[in-house]
Amino acid sequence: MQFSQIIGQHDTKQYLTTSVQQGHLPHAQLWLSPQGSGSLALALAYIQYVLCLHPTPHDSCGTCQHCRKISKRIHPDLHFSYPVIKKEKKGISTDYLAEWRKALQNNPYLPYQQWLKTIDAENKQGNISKDECADILHKLSLKSFESPYKVLIMWLPEYLGTEGNRLLKLLEEPPEDTLFVLVAESQEAILPTIRSRCQLLKIPKLHDTDLIQYLQTQLPHLPLEQAATAAFLADGDANAALDFAQNTENNLFDIFIEWLRTCYVGKGPDMLRWTEKVALQGRENQKHLFQYGLHFVRSWMLLRVTQDTSRVKLQPRELQAAVNLANKVQAPFDQLTNLLNETIAHIERNANPKILFLDASIQLSKMLRPIVG
């Protein structure tokens, strides 16, 4: 993976290449960034830059033996550790290496939920186990094979239980020429003992302009306006942006507006039908629907207050609906926003979707009232 293949993150790339050129290579680094911002891909590009035989000021060469092996994730001195589940005879990262290589090949922005799906985790949560820590200690005790460094990229050290304390000595006094890059999403969820032994690098979420550019390379026929909406909704997450763009605005819009309409009329059987339809969708799709809902409701609210259509980012059909609503329906917007946020939080916590959506529908139907006069 080269820096040039990674969306945006210009400042971080600049910082990383400069620090390597200056010979500044901290042995243990903790990278922190929101989901979908590309930090795992950046870690791969960074290590490739460190090991590359012919780097330029801005990127690795992409063709030397180290670059070629890292790009196929088969470099013998580059080790990975990531959350996995116990299944049959499998229990540590090495057992899942084939799946890992393929998953990264398909999507170097791999979200955790997608990774769990790839390894058929069903409803189990991933874990970086005691056996995994022992395996890491073993791997890094060996001499490097081909390059001056032995490297471990650990993805999501949040899943390292207290067993992670077995790695402390290694992080504190690493064997000669060992580099650790821990790629995390949530600082609070990492063992404080691990956190305090690493040099922290915060990587920001992606800018909308970078996401728009990314969407237009992935989906060349996507109209600019639609790319802009998807980027706006995704809030810096490359995977979410692609999902939003592929789901097309119409799909989310139609389902959400149907919900508003159904709850406004307030007929139980219709609300139940909507609930059952949405409950059948995947959890990520459900989350996107309510995130889209937040975006739509904010626009509706803004129109209600300002009547200024130039201030909202909506497609023509959406705009028409929002204008109609602004003229005809009133709602306590802070309560409505809370309801949507809470619903998203419950989806994330695996709430029963039928109960969740029916309850949300009943609450919504109490909030929507016609504007009289």
For Zn ion, the binding residues (CB under 5 A) are 52, 60-61, 64, 67
Q: Least Å distance between CB 71 and Zn ion?
A: 9
Report the 10 Å Cβ neighbour count for 165. 13
Q: Least Å distance between CB 60 and Zn ion?
A: 5
Give the whole-angstrom CA distance, residue 330 versus residue 336. 11
Q: Least Å distance between CB 103 and Zn ion?
A: 24
Q: Least Å distance between CB 40 and Zn ion?
A: 20
Give the whole-angstrom CA distance, residue 76 versus residue 326. 61
- The residue among 243, 206, 154 whose CA lies nearest residue 37 is 206
Which C-beta is closer to Zn ion: that of 151 or that of 241?
A: 151
Which C-beta is closer to Zn ion: that of 65 or that of 141?
A: 65
Six token digits for residue 98: 């084939």
Distance between alpha carbon 15 and the CA centroid of its chain, in Å? 22
Which C-beta is closer to Zn ion: that of 61 or that of 367?
A: 61
3-state DSSP call for residue 81? strand
Which C-beta is closer to Zn ion: that of 61 or that of 279?
A: 61
15: which residues sit within 8 A by CB, 6+ positions away?
201
Q: Least Å distance between CB 235 and Zn ion?
A: 35
DSSP conformation letters of 117-182: HHTT-TTPPPBB-HHHHHHHHHHHHSPPSSSS-EEEEEE-GGGB-GGGGGGHHHHHS--TTEEEEE
Q: Least Å distance between CB 61 and Zn ion?
A: 4
Cβ-contact 79, 151 below 8 angstroms: yes
Which C-beta is closer to Zn ion: that of 56 or that of 338?
A: 56
Which C-beta is closer to Zn ion: that of 67 or that of 278?
A: 67
Give the whole-angstrom CA distance, residue 18 versus residue 24. 9
Which C-beta is closer to Zn ion: that of 67 or that of 271?
A: 67
Q: Least Å distance between CB 66 and Zn ion?
A: 6
Which C-beta is closer to Zn ion: that of 41 or that of 140?
A: 41
One-letter amino acid of 320: Q
Q: Least Å distance between CB 41 and Zn ion?
A: 17
Which C-beta is closer to Zn ion: that of 6 or that of 242?
A: 6
Q: Least Å distance between CB 59 and Zn ion?
A: 9
Q: Least Å distance between CB 62 and Zn ion?
A: 6
Which C-beta is closer to Zn ion: that of 70 or that of 231?
A: 70
